[in-house]
Structure 1
Amino acid sequence: MHSPIFLNRRTPPKIVTLILLAGLSALTMNIFLPSLPGMAAYFDAPYALMQLSVALYLALSAVLQVLIGPISDRYGRRVVILAALGLFLIATLGTLFAATATQFLICRMAQAVVAAGMVLSRAVVRDMVSDDEAASMIAYVTMGMSLVPMIGPVIGGYVDAAFGWHANFWLLFGLGLLVMALVWADLGETAVTRKISFAAQLRSYPTLLGSRRFLGYAGAAAFSSGCFFAYLGGAPYVGNVVFGLDSKQIGLLFAITALGYTAGNFFAGRFSRRIGINRMVLLGTLITVAGMTTLLGLTLAGLSGPVVFFGLQFSMGLGNGVALPSANAGILSVRPEFAGTASGLGGALQIGGGAGLAALAGALLPPGSTELPLILLMLASSLASVACILLVIRRARALGLGA
């Protein structure tokens, strides 16, 4: 009997497996953020150097997502996910036993291989179901993991306070082991692999990048998620410096966005098949624009404060929860035979663009700044997402595909 790792039959996993797989990827991104000051002291390194553990991780994650997709189209989802999880566990042990800040940063960058979980959980869904059904299922997957990147720093803060910064990475190691065991037991191969070279796979990128529909869906997803990344980059400053809140209060206020995102994902899961992916993306992006426009108006009227600023982020979470599942399903629908490649490229654009907007948010908020530059950046990003999906709808009508 062959080992399960070599199975090539379509054996779709339970949805909880995909939720936990994507959730581990999201948690790894930011659970350790409250530990950065303690880590800087531990390694006797400048705080700015330790902050590179975020930027470098995001940068390598974006690059890896470009490569992971084609590899999974060629060799299959299951083997790539298991290999990525194995490498992630080794890298996590490296962060735990690193003797210098440089060693830690190298291992931290290597942890980015876990991005395979986020990319390929979407590709697995697209392997199994049609476009509109994929949007619905992706919505449920992302609803299950939507709280993770938002409450990750809260969890990390309490773990760090109780046990020190190493405990967060031990937690990631333990969760990685559990997810790997679950994937081994539950996730069979879902892709129909094609015996073509990796170079041939990469040559599909010009095809995807030359597709107006792909660029439209990818742009809508990148600018929608970019609004959230900009918020992540600037909200801690706004909460602490502008409004005088402490870290625990800011962490709790982040939950407002998470609740909005969860509600949006639930709505998308229920209605994507009925409404259609293009209209769902448009609806979600308009919800975000409405919320950011309201926030801008209240701020200019002098009515802003922590309740207004953080409370209206519910609309941003809600809009993203409605739009992103369908945008990601659209990314995968342009060339279904290259679902892994499309998912990786689309994910790279989202993470890369998000990292850039997060950095821009920080640059726009020098000492003495108000929250206004951040609000304007978030509104601009959300308006760009509306423009992108309108281009998709226009192109679909031109091709006779409907709205």
Structure 2
Amino acid sequence: MIPFRASTPPHLVTLILLAATSTMTLNLIVPSLTNIAADLQADYAVISLALGGYLATTALVEFSVGPLSDRIGRRPVLLVALTVFTLASLAGAVAQSVETFLAARMLQAGVISGYVLSLAIVRDTHDGSEVARLLGKIAMAMAIAPMLGPMVGSLLDAALGWRAIFVLYGAIGAALLCLVWMDLGETLPGDDGSRDAALPGPGALIRQPLFWCYALCTTFSTGAFYIFLAGAPPIAARVFEIPTAGLGIFVGSITAGFMTGSFLGGRLSCRWATTRVMLVGRLVACVGLLAGMAVLSSGVVLPLLYFGSTIFVGIGNGLTMPSSNAGAMSVLPRLAGTAAGFTGGMTLAVGAVLTTGTGALIADRPEPMLLLALMFAASFAGLLAALGAIRLERRR
């Protein structure tokens, strides 16, 4: 029988659903932005804040929710965040003005707590290579969710209108709220009333060079992915003349690579040290991009070879990120929530800068070599951060 109020750690499926919902919430409404603008009689540029503004708000939530959960616990933060998300989704469904719609959309950003705290809960309840293995499983689910989001959103919009998407958001939020209430007991260590007195502040984590190495490894690894998302579509269309119908396959190939890398990383983490898996992931990404640049330099410009080289970034990221995230949360285990939140927030902030910069560069110069060079620069920065983490771990 399921208890009315859980007192045990959650099942893995609960954490996977929390993390997947956090990512799917971003792009489920992408196919409906034009219809939302028309219905609310607003400029598309204003409605597009439902994406850009949402990402910025998400980054702020990630920076704050981790330290808060280290203070008061994972369970209460998740319950409040999911309640706010559910109510905000219902408010968005009935919004009659663009101001109300955008306010509801920004409040939805609280659902990112599900991703941040899923990572922290894994670190609370497991040690060593098991953390990276489980994070790899969560990462695979997170890769699937963004692919399904736009498809589900477009079907709902066509059948019932864009407001049905927000009704779905609300239903998912309510279901997750019930699931967390029943299945997710508090996992934060030190639940003895003296938690706050013994807890170091976020500054203790920020002063750790090892944390920065792990966090920057995650940040720059993901940064290569953001660069690809911003630069691949114009190059695919204008250089390789790939039609719209085939664009999704080529652009989505990197996500398929990420799923493959996450699967392999889960297997390898049972045999190798997490730092070794992380390093292999960085090498795979860098070598794959160098091979692509070498092929381009030889004068062979074929879309299959070009996008085949970028797949290695996805594979490398799938290998790297579970291990680098696990490492960041293991520097000061009592501040696992803070580490997860800071790493996630920094990744989004840097990703926004890289996406904007890449879009500006590629718009003027849609050159295949330029995109690979930018991706290699980010991947190589991640490799340097991984080497720094390995060196510091040996000293420790």
Give the TM-score taking structure 2 as reference length. Answer: 0.91
- The equivalent of 2:132 in structure 1 is 135
Count of residue pairs the alignment pairs up: 393
CA drift at 1:199:
11
Task: Identify the match of residue 372 of structure 1 among 365, 369, 372.
Answer: 369
Task: Identify the match of residue 104 of structure 2 among 96, 103, 107.
Answer: 107
Summarize the alignment of residues 3-402 of structure 1 with structure 2, pairs less than 5 Å apart. 9=7, 11-193=8-190, 204-366=201-363, 369-399=366-396
**Contact kept? 1:151, 1:251, Cα under 8 Å:** no
Is the alpha carbon distance of 1:130 and 1:373 closer, same or farther for their aligned partners in structure 2, counting shifts above 3 Å? same
Q: Aligned letter for 1:16?
A: V
Gaps of 5+ in 1: none
Is the alpha carbon distance of 1:89 and 1:380 closer, same or farther for their aligned partners in structure 2, counting shifts above 3 Å? same
**Contact kept? 1:74, 1:193, Cα under 8 Å:** no
How many angstroms apart in 2 are the aligned matches of 1:193 and 1:109? 33
**Contact kept? 1:12, 1:187, Cα under 8 Å:** yes
Is the alpha carbon distance of 1:382 and 1:114 closer, same or farther for their aligned partners in structure 2, counting shifts above 3 Å? same
How many angstroms apart in 2 are the aligned matches of 1:22 and 1:211? 27
187-196 or 223-232, larger mean C-alpha shift: 187-196
**Contact kept? 1:154, 1:252, Cα under 8 Å:** no
Listed one character per residue, the Cα deviations across residues 20-65 of structure 1 (whole Å, up to 9, x for unaligned) are 1100001012222222233333333333322222221111111111
Listed one character per residue, the Cα deviations across residues 79-125 of structure 1 (whole Å, up to 9, x for unaligned) are 21111111011111222222233322222111110110000000110
290-299 or 74-83, larger mean C-alpha shift: 290-299
How many angstroms apart in 1 are the aligned matches of 2:229 and 2:238? 15
**Contact kept? 2:202, 2:335, Cα under 8 Å:** no
Is the alpha carbon distance of 1:89 and 1:305 closer, same or farther for their aligned partners in structure 2, counting shifts above 3 Å? farther
How many angstroms apart in 1 are the aligned matches of 2:109 and 2:304? 35
CA drift at 1:156:
2.9
329-338 or 205-214, larger mean C-alpha shift: 205-214
Is the alpha carbon distance of 1:192 and 1:199 closer, same or farther for their aligned partners in structure 2, counting shifts above 3 Å? closer
Q: Aligned letter for 1:291?
A: G
**Contact kept? 2:67, 2:202, Cα under 8 Å:** no
CA drift at 1:17:
0.8
Give the TM-score taking structure 1 as reference length. Answer: 0.90
How many angstroms apart in 1 are the aligned matches of 2:90 and 2:126? 37
**Contact kept? 1:74, 1:196, Cα under 8 Å:** no
227-236 or 109-118, larger mean C-alpha shift: 227-236
How many angstroms apart in 2 are the aligned matches of 1:230 and 1:340? 27
334-343 or 306-315, larger mean C-alpha shift: 306-315
How many angstroms apart in 1 are the aligned matches of 2:144 and 2:318? 11
Is the alpha carbon distance of 1:122 and 1:293 closer, same or farther for their aligned partners in structure 2, counting shifts above 3 Å? same
How many angstroms apart in 1 are the aligned matches of 2:195 and 2:50? 33
137-146 or 161-170, larger mean C-alpha shift: 161-170
Is the alpha carbon distance of 1:242 and 1:136 closer, same or farther for their aligned partners in structure 2, counting shifts above 3 Å? same
CA drift at 1:297:
2.7
Is the alpha carbon distance of 1:302 and 1:96 closer, same or farther for their aligned partners in structure 2, counting shifts above 3 Å? farther
CA drift at 1:390:
0.6
How many angstroms apart in 1 are the aligned matches of 2:64 and 2:244? 37
Q: Aligned letter for 1:100?
A: S
Is the alpha carbon distance of 1:242 and 1:41 closer, same or farther for their aligned partners in structure 2, counting shifts above 3 Å? farther
**Contact kept? 1:69, 1:340, Cα under 8 Å:** yes
Structure 1 segments (4+ residues) deviating >6 Å: 196-201
Q: Aligned letter for 2:387?
A: L
Identity within the alignment, %: 38
